[in-house]
A = this chain, B = another copy of it.
Amino acid sequence: MEFAKTIEILGTLSFAMSGSFAAMQKRLDPFGVIIIAFVTSIGGGTLRDILLNRPIQWMISTDTIYWISAAALFSMLFKSIENNFKVTLFIFDSLGLGLFTIAGIDKGLSMGYPSDICLILGTITGCAGGIFRDMLLTKIPLIFQREIYATACILGGVVYFSLRKWGGIPMEIIQIIATGVVVTTRVLAVKLNWQIPKFYDGNSKGDY
């Protein structure tokens, strides 16, 4: 319980900051920044809870909205040192992705859904906030462009289910490893400029 709560808060903070910075780039006013921070960090979990027909997370654990507001204010106050921040922020956004994906899978499993559905639920939980953020700022969502985003979620989820099937490993260790896989995949993808070959494209260099 304690552990799941920590995951949730860390993910929330990470996404709130990534939302704030995206909003400041588009030069929104402070309230706009806070709203985008909200949508980015609660978007994925809210959609997950609606699909699962559960009470919405942030509506029952009230402290969430204060964590988000604090993260947005913090981001605005420290905007000036953004350049030093950029790498940290990218790591945080990836961490949020990993944490939320695993949290989404967990919630689905705890309600008795089969593992393939939970994999999709996890991906939705991890990705939807960022998609909403980009839609509100009228950009083609980041997820569809260069970064291996959804792919990282699915890879992490597969590792999660494999370790679970293997048996004997404590749940929390599995969660940490799977989160690590999502984060590492995405960070390496960006660092090494990985791309999924567009095999449907006659002109691409993809060879399968």
> Which A residues have a C-beta under 8 Å from some C-beta of B?
23-24, 26-33, 35-36, 38, 46, 50-51, 53, 55-56, 58-59, 62, 65, 75-77, 79-80, 113-114, 116-117, 120-121, 131, 135-141, 143-145, 148-151, 195-202
Contact = CB atoms under 8 A, between A and B. Distances in A.
Contact of A29 (B116, B137, B196): B196
A24 B200 contact: yes
Contacts of A117: 58-59, 62, 65
Given A62-B117, A76-B199, A201-B79, A140 B141 contact: no
A27 B140 contact: no
Nearest to A56: B51
Given A35-B144, A196-B30, A202 B136 contact: no
A141 B28 CA distance: 11
A59 B51 contact: yes
A30 B196 CA distance: 7
